[in-house]
Amino acid sequence: MKELIRYKLFLLFSFSAFLAYPQDVQFTQFYANPLYLSPSFTGGIVGYRVAANYRNQWTFVPGTYNTFSLSWDHNSPAFRSGFGLIAMRDQAGDGELANTRMGVLYSYDIEPYPDWHIRPGLAFFLQQISIDFSKLIFSDQLTSTPMPPTSVIQPGKDAVWDIDVSSSILAYSDNVWFGVTWDHMLKPVATFYDDNSRLSHKITVHGGYRYVTKGFLLSRIEESFTIAFNYRIQDIYRQLDLGLYFYSEPVSFGVWWRGLPKNDVGRRVDALAFMAGYKWEQVSVGYSYDFTISRLGLASGGSHELSFIYEFKLTPKKRWKAIPCPTF
């Protein structure tokens, strides 16, 4: 029975990944991939930072979603600016449908009041979508054995390039932050055919509050609770993440609920995510598991995610107000 379920899921994703690709990757540990979440996080540290992320979604389904991300950013107090680079590759389905993005990012720090900062951000991307059409399985190939060729017309090209732009703004104080990101401002191409299919705009609204129970803001925070949210809109899709973190130096634990009470496509609850992290001086390592509670259920195998951050810290020449959002 379990093998039958896996086979059905395999056929489903071989076919549907080709048709329903124009949706973005979602990271559970989105604060561990800050430049992907918002260009405003670029340079939001003292010195330099390198972040690496890996996500394996629905592990029981062969050939499904694997995502890799690598980013670098730098804070330049002299120019009140942050500079960054990011590269990401998402490979979906047995047909190796892939989206590769490389971008440069910039943010600027504004201090309208002594205890508040505002950081607008901007990012420019070069994007490629690619596919191995010969590995896809379509419904008209399931009519007989051995499997006949498909009647679906193959695209004239297996890779398409385009450019994209994202913008954002982030406001934060000692223990509160709130931000908005507008991705795919140029609506890049999302098809291998000569039609007008393009990736939809995506709006992300995120924020949270940190309550410090042990330690001091101007020195070292040893223990804290943080509540946070992340809400995304893309075309007809809506998704809300609500989470709670507990940090007790050097470890972190978190739990997230993902879904919506009701939306246009009928999805109510998607997953519960559990996270554990370890932070030691400049190094932060995190692991999370998404327990699927939607109709896809246990047959999906859930999703695993790993994150790694290394900060090359420098001594700031003036008081530096760090962004209070969680490390993970």
pLDDT in tens, 138-178: 767 677 777 777 777 777 778 899 999 999 999 999 899 99
pLDDT in tens, 188-218: 988 887 777 888 999 999 999 999 998 766 5
Examine the pLDDT at 17 and tell me if it is beyond 60: no
**β-pair type (116-130, 97-108):** antiparallel
Nearest 5 degrees, angle CA 41-CA 126-CA 325? 15
pLDDT in tens, 295-328: 666 666 788 999 999 998 776 656 566 788 777 6
* Predicted pLDDT of residue 154: 74
Integer Cα distance of 80 and 146 in angstroms: 64
Domain count for the chain: 1
pLDDT in tens, 20-49: 445 688 899 999 999 999 999 999 988 899
The answer to whether position 324 is within a domain reads: no
7 pLDDT band, cuts 50/70/90, is very low
Q: Is the peptide bond before 146 cis (omega within 30 degrees of 0)?
A: yes
Domain that holds residue 105: 2-312
Examine the pLDDT at 18 and tell me if it is beyond 60: no
Rounded mean pLDDT of the chain? 84
Give the predicted TM-score (pTM) of the model: 0.86
The answer to whether position 10 is within a domain reads: yes
* Predicted pLDDT of residue 292: 82
The answer to whether position 322 is within a domain reads: no
115 vs 269: which has the higher pLDDT: 115
The answer to whether position 264 is within a domain reads: yes
The answer to whether position 219 is within a domain reads: yes
The answer to whether position 319 is within a domain reads: no
AA identity, residue 149: P
- Compute CA 173 distance to the chain's CA centroid, rounded to the nearest angstrom: 24
* Predicted pLDDT of residue 26: 86
Pick from 60, 35, 55: which is nearest to 45 by CA?
A: 35
261 pLDDT band, cuts 50/70/90, is low
pLDDT in tens, 78-113: 899 999 999 999 987 667 788 999 999 999 999 998
Examine the pLDDT at 266 and tell me if it is beyond 70: no
* Predicted pLDDT of residue 11: 42
The answer to whether position 103 is within a domain reads: yes
What is the Cβ-side half-sphere exposure of residue 59, based on CA atoms within 13 angstroms?
11
The answer to whether position 301 is within a domain reads: yes
Residue 228: give its domain's CATH number.
Answer: 2.40.160.40
Nearest 5 degrees, angle CA 91-CA 92-CA 96? 70
